[in-house]
Amino acid sequence: MAKLGIKFPGSELDGREIPLNPGGELRIGRIAGNDLVLLDKMVSRTHAVIAGGPQGYVLTDLGSSVGTFINGTKVSLPVVLAEGDEIKIGEAVLCVRLEVSVPIPPKAVEVVAVADFAVPEVM
C-alpha cells in the first residue's frame, strides 16, 4: 500500500506514516476536517489534496498562499507523484512511498521431456 512518511520536527506527527487510498483523497491543511492536519502557520486551512486514480496519485495545490513544493519545485498544476518524491508543505516534508511491484524471476526449472511413443531398439 502506498503511504506518506512524515518529517515534521517538533510535531507529534514526526516519524509517522499515513496510508494513501488508491481510489480516495487525502486532504491536507491546517484546520480540523482535513485528513492530515498540519499545525503550522505556513499551512493554509485547506492547502492541498492527494487523489488516487488510474494514472497514480496526483497532488494538487488548492490555492494555498505559501505554496506546495515537490522536490524543491513549486507546484502550480496537478502533479503525478513518483516513488521518493518529497512534498513540502509549511515546515512538514511528506515522503512518498509507493508500492512497487517488482517481477520475481522464475526459478530455474529442469525440463525433462517425456515421449509418449516407443523408441525402436537398434541392433
Query: Over the stretch 39-90, which tens digit does the pLDDT of each residue have?
Result: 999 999 999 999 999 989 999 999 999 999 999 999 999 999 999 999 999 9
Q: What is the mean pLDDT of the chain?
A: 88
* Single pTM value for the model: 0.79
Could you list the beta-strand ranges (E) of the chain: 3-7, 17-19, 25-29, 36-37, 48-53, 56-61, 69-70, 73-74, 79-80, 86-89, 92-97
pLDDT value at residue 80: 96
Q: Give yes or no for residue 102 having a pLDDT over 70.
A: no
Q: Where are the alpha helices (DSSP H) in the chain?
A: none
pLDDT value at residue 105: 60
